């Protein structure tokens, strides 16, 4: 009898979670990578994906970038030199020359990451903390991540991605990331007091 009640409870929870329109409202799809080559408005990445930018861009080879993908489309945006650039995934066509690429016809990318797009509202280097738009406070525990965080600015977008017990925050402008926790480092807190 207990197992039947437990089964019904779990089933109802699954039905509720899947029917809740706000359950994954904040989740976004994104890719991280490195620029291999830019030819006018065509950007080739080291993984050989080719994206067409909405304008001609310049960047250095091996520059890290984050592409925020639109829902169920092969389009999105990235930042190059602190400028937002809209991009479309391309595929090879049968023609040659400048028109050798066309927008990708397949439904969507099969390899991407999922996270939540948030805004930095406060950074406290003394306490090694970062506060995001929903008053979520995260703490940096390594000196390397604290150094990275010290270079970030407030009011920029970041992606929060959780994988098991670890949480990673990626700056969408610089493509730098830090590992964070929900609990402060006691040694850092005692130094700050």
**Nearest alpha-carbon partner for 80 in 109, 51, 108:** 51
Contact yes or no for 79/159 (Cβ under 8 A): no
- List, as one string, the DSSP characters of 137-193: EEEE-SHHHHHHHHT--SS-EEEEEEETTEEEEEETTT--EEEEESS--HHHHHHH-
Contact yes or no for 16/8 (Cβ under 8 A): no
CA–CA distance, 125 with 113 (Å, rounded to integer): 28
According to the model, what pLDDT value does residue 14 have?
42
Please state the domain extents for the chain.
Answer: 27-111, 115-192
Q: What is the pLDDT of residues 117-158, one digit of tens each?
A: 999 999 999 999 999 987 899 999 899 999 999 999 999 999
Map tokens 């994104």 to a residue: 30
Both tokens of 87, joined, read 């991009």
What's the full length of the chain, in residues?
A: 193
Phi-psi region of 186 (alpha: psi -120 to 50; beta: other; left: phi over 0): alpha
CA–CA distance, 137 with 91 (Å, rounded to integer): 41
Q: What is the pLDDT of residues 67-98, one digit of tens each?
A: 999 887 889 999 988 899 999 999 877 766 65
φ, ψ for residue 107, nearest 5 deg: -60, -45
């Amino acid at each position: 009898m207990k197992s039947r009640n437990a089964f019904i409870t779990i089933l109802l929870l699954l039905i509720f979670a899947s029917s809740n329109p706000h359950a994954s409202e904040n989740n976004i799809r994104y890719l991280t990578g490195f620029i291999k080559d830019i030819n006018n408005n065509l950007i080739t990445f080291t993984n050989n994906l080719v994206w067409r930018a909405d304008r001609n861009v310049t960047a250095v080879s091996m520059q890290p970038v984050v592409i925020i993908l639109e829902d169920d489309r092969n389009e999105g945006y990235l930042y190059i030199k602190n400028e937002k650039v809209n991009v479309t995934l391309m595929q090879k066509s049968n023609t040659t020359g400048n028109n050798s690429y066309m927008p990708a016809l397949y439904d969507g990318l099969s390899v991407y990451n999922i996270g939540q797009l948030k805004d930095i509202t406060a950074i406290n280097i003394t306490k090694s903390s970062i506060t995001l738009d929903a008053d979520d406070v995260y703490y940096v525990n390594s000196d390397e991540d604290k150094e990275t965080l010290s270079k970030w600015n407030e009011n920029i977008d970041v992606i929060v991605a959780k994988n098991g017990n670890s949480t990673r925050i990626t700056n969408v402008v610089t493509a730098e990331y830090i590992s964070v926790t929900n609990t402060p480092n006691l040694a850092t807190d005692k130094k700050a007091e």
